[in-house]
Each structure stands twice: as structure tokens, then as C-alpha cells.
Amino acid sequence: MANRFNKSFPSFSPLHSEFSPECRIIDNFSDHFSFNICDKEKDDKYYAHQLDKMILESSLSPSTAIMASDVSIKNNVATSISHTHVYNSPIIKMIHHAVHVTSTEAELFTIRCGINQASNFDNMSKIIVVTDSTHVARKIFKPSVHPYQIQSAAILSNLHSFFKCHENNSIEFWECPSCLKWHLHNEVNKETKTFNPTPLYPCKMSWDFSKKSESNDILKVWKMMFQASDLKGNQFLDLLDNDNNIIEPSYVKGGLWLKTFGHSNSLCACATRAITNHAPISEYRLRFFPRKEFKCPCGLYPIESRRHILHECGRFNGYWNLRRDSLNHFVMFLETNPSAFTFSDSLV
């Protein structure tokens, strides 16, 4: 980790004047920038119509610049492209390649270049940025310390002088999900994918990229350790996700298991007992008292095993679902059978 960080270039800039209270854009020009977000609840066509309407209104004004940007990453090389449209002028295309950066950094960089270019036009009063990553654009105005501050500071300085030029100068960010295939953004999106660059020389890594590769490596180790059954335990119940893949460890949002049953302590306890087969059932007791009888209380099975409880035992909701191997159905079983794998159901 130390070696990798030695090679990385820092991107923090918390002491920059753009981040000091009272000088910040959010304090002085909060009504000069806005975000238009695609409402996931509503129809895609409705939002595409909103974008069309915005273009119709803006494209006839010589003082409005519309900038569409996108990024794609191949072989660790990020290609970021922006197209700037200004009334009666040819489209300005900008293409940048960067090695060992994250998509967030590349996205911010292309927004930075686009804004810089648009604000340099004479008599420009409005800049419209169309991007599929408004969550990245929001980082520009984030007052707390974050690893993209070098980019944010440059964009904010640029915006500062742009807003100071005239009280009506403003910037709008419009979200445009790539799946919408809305024409101006789709053009850029397609163009980013046409490049197939290969880095020729060893390159430094960005701070963010180093963190990302470090956590990817750690995840790989977790997954490898997890696949070796003697480390996770021979009795571990492998469950599938909605795409029929075996659930593997991840740190994202606490991992898939906890995301599904972590909201309830009792459910979490039952699920853990069942998954590890460390539960108050006969199959477990048999490991310590191999000569004793451990029939299932239903009387139909010689051993009360986890498999029997989950799949066959008439005491538990006889038939619960055809699918018995997915995490969602497993949790559904535990919720509809609150006595399964609990001590209240225990024989002792």
C-alpha cells in the first residue's frame, strides 16, 4: 500500500480559498447554479421530452452554451469527451485520455474543461451541462473535505469569475442517463467507446484510483478465502442472489447478507444460525451426542436437519416456495416461520 501511495498524486486541496466560509460559491451565488435530475418514478420519454424542451429554448440563444460530456474506461485508460454547442458556431469537441484515474475524476475533469471553454465565449450568460453523472457534478459544490478538491477548486474559481461578470450568469446541470440515448449525449457516449487506447509508459496513479485498486485487491482476497470451504466452515449454506450467482463477501452497503436481514435482530440471529448450521436443531446436537436419537418432532424424518426444515418438514409452512436456494426466498421462509432455528423450537 505504501509503495502504491508513493506513486500516487494527491488531489486534496482543503485550504484553497474556494472552500473557506464566506468566500464559497454556495454562500454567495447559491441561486446561480441548479440541477435537473431525471425522476426514476416517471417515464423515460417524459424526461427526454423535458431535455428536448430545454434544447429548443436554449439553442436559439447566442448567449447559451450547451455542453454534453461522458467518460469511458478501457484498459485502465479513461477517455473523456465533451461536445460544446453554441448557437451558429461549429461544435467544439474535446477529447482527453488519462491513465490510472477513476471515472469520477475523469468525469469531473471533462466538466472542468467544458465549463472553462464555455465561459470564455464572449457575452455568454448561461452554461448547460448535460451529463449522466450529476452525482459527480454535485461534488463541485460539496463544502466538506473530499478527494476531488483540486478539480472542484479549479471549476469553482472559473464559475466565480463567470458569475461575477454579470448578475444573470448561471449554470444548469442536466442529468441524462446513458440508457435514455438522448441524441446530444448519445453522440458523446458513442464516441467515448470508439477509442481503444493502450498506455505505452508506466504512469502514476491518482489517489482515488489507488484506493479503488486497493479495495478491489482486498475484495479478491476475501472472495478467494471465502471459496475455500474450510475457512467459511463446511456447513455454510451457500445462497444465490437474484441473478443466480453465489453470494460473495462485499463491503458495499454492508454486503448482501446483512442488507437483506440486518434490519431485525431476531431475524439476523435466526439467519446466522441457519446459514452456519450452528442452530438448536438435532443435526447440530448429533455432533456431540452421536448415540442419541434425534428424530424430527414431525415424526417423519430420522434427523431434524437443516435441509429437512428448509425443504420438507410439515411443521414449517409445508410448502413455501419452489425456489429454495436464493437469499430472498430463504429470508421469506424465516419471516413466515418465526419459530424455525430458534431456541423456543428446541427440544431441550
Q: Is 310 in the site for Zn ion (CB under 5 A)?
A: no
* Smallest separation (angstroms) from Zn ion to the CB of 348: 17
Stretch binding Zn ion (CB under 5 A), from 162-170, 221-229, 295-303, 317-325 = 295-303
**Interaction between residue 313 and Zn ion (CB under 5 A):** yes
Interaction between residue 159 and Zn ion (CB under 5 A):
no
- How many residues at the interface with Zn ion, by CB under 5 A? 4
Is the Cβ of residue 155 or residue 296 nearer to Zn ion in the bound state? 296
Q: Is 125 in contact with 170 (CB distance < 8 Å)? A: yes
CA 229 to chain centre: 30
Residue 298 in the binding site for Zn ion (CB under 5 A): yes
Q: How far apart are CA 116 and CA 30, in angstroms?
A: 19
CB half-sphere exposure, 123, CA atoms < 13 A: 5
CA 282 from centroid of its chain's CA atoms: 43
Stretch that binds Zn ion, among 111-119, 216-224, 292-300, 319-327 (CB under 5 A): 292-300
Write the interaction track for Zn ion spanning residues 248-267; mark x where CB under 5 A is met and - where it is not: --------------------
Helical spans, DSSP H, in the chain: 2-7, 25-28, 44-59, 103-119, 134-138, 149-165, 183-193, 207-227, 229-232, 255-261, 265-276, 282-285, 306-311, 327-336
| Interaction of residue 303 with Zn ion, rule CB under 5 A | no
The one segment of 22-30, 100-108, 173-181, 299-307 that binds Zn ion by CB under 5 A: 299-307
Q: Is 296 in the site for Zn ion (CB under 5 A)?
A: yes
What is the distance, to the nearest Å, from the Cα of residue 286 to the centroid of all Cα atoms in its chain?
Answer: 45
Instruction: For the CB of residue 308, give the shortest distance to Zn ion in the complex, in Å.
Output: 5
Interface positions with Zn ion (CB under 5 A): 296, 298, 301, 313
